[in-house]
A and B are shown apart, each in its own frame.
Chain A
């Protein structure tokens, strides 16, 4: 939640951060040296609320359309999926691959998001691009703010 980034990559505190890292190196700590994205099999989500629609973004790198399942019941959006290992099961007679490092994780996951208001379930659209699932949930016309002309 406490993630704020300056636009265009400009970071007024970059100098301080370098200093902090150097000091941490001296004291043998490696805190803050590496920032990771993604929580292994538990994918992080973003919820953005606009005037006419709600956007839910979900980071699902390495998963394809068939491995993801979306459902909505009332105001509850559920994202389920399976993160498969990068390698295929070895065929009969083939020797298995040898892992040196395994950070990505695998397995089934399920995330439930309770939306702050009702959405038009018939007009929900979802797209998957560069490992990010974007779900657009349009609000009901009656809920969206409407401009009223003074006559």
Chain B
């Protein structure tokens, strides 16, 4: 009963609320601009825009992306494999100074750029003596 066996496999597999056990850790650059905006640049080659999931919860920014690509036609043989597509996962603790509602992200050429502006309340403020 190959069909039944298949079904068991599907049921056994835990709900994929997150990425698999062997997700890639994307390489990142994090820098802060002069105006206090933090920019996070992550390499997610192979990932399409609709597969990217960025969440901020309790001071943790999680980044998930799916860079899996369809397997080549069976007539192709892999002569050399330097990389394979996979899922990406990485989490970052973000400062309280970041304005959660103003976080923006863009994707181009496999590069995900997340800008985390500093909240107005966290900016340096001069206090006048009254």
Residues of chain A whose beta carbon lies under 8 Å from any beta carbon of chain B: 1, 3, 5, 7, 9-11, 14, 17-18, 34-38, 40, 44-51, 55, 57, 59-64, 85-87, 94-105, 116, 128, 130-132
Evaluate contact between B29 and A50: CB separation under 8 angstroms: no
| A44 in contact with B29 given A35-B22, A104-B43 (CB within 8 Å) | no
Evaluate contact between A131 and B33: CB separation under 8 angstroms: no
Query: Which residues from chain B contact A97 at a C-beta distance below 8 Å?
Result: 31-34, 39
Residues of chain B whose beta carbon lies under 8 Å from any beta carbon of chain A: 9, 13, 16, 20-34, 38-39, 41, 43-48, 67-69, 71-73, 75-84, 86-88, 109-111, 113
Which residue in B9, B20, B23, B78 is a CB contact (below 8 Å) of A48?
B78
Evaluate contact between A99 and B46: CB separation under 8 angstroms: no
Query: Which residues from chain A contact B87 at a C-beta distance below 8 Å?
Result: 9
Query: Which residues from chain A contact B26 at a C-beta distance below 8 Å?
Result: 37
A59 and B27 alpha carbons, distance in the complex (Å): 13
Evaluate contact between B31 and A11: CB separation under 8 angstroms: no
Evaluate contact between B32 and A46: CB separation under 8 angstroms: no
| A103 in contact with B29 given A9-B68, A10-B13 (CB within 8 Å) | yes
6 contacts between A and B (CB under 8 A): A14-B21, A37-B24, A44-B82, A60-B45, A98-B31, A116-B79
**Interface of chain A: mostly helix, strand, loop or mixed:** loop
Evaluate contact between A3 and B84: CB separation under 8 angstroms: yes
Query: Which residues from chain B contact A36 at a C-beta distance below 8 Å?
Result: 24-25, 27
A40 and B26 alpha carbons, distance in the complex (Å): 11
A116 and B24 alpha carbons, distance in the complex (Å): 31
Query: Which residues from chain B contact A61 at a C-beta distance below 8 Å?
Result: 43-45, 109-111
Query: Which residues from chain A contact B44 at a C-beta distance below 8 Å?
Result: 61, 131
| A17 in contact with B109 given A38-B27, A87-B31, A104-B43 (CB within 8 Å) | no
Interface-central residue, B16, B41, B68, B75, by most chain A CB under 10 Å:
B41
Evaluate contact between B27 and A103: CB separation under 8 angstroms: yes
A105 and B79 alpha carbons, distance in the complex (Å): 27
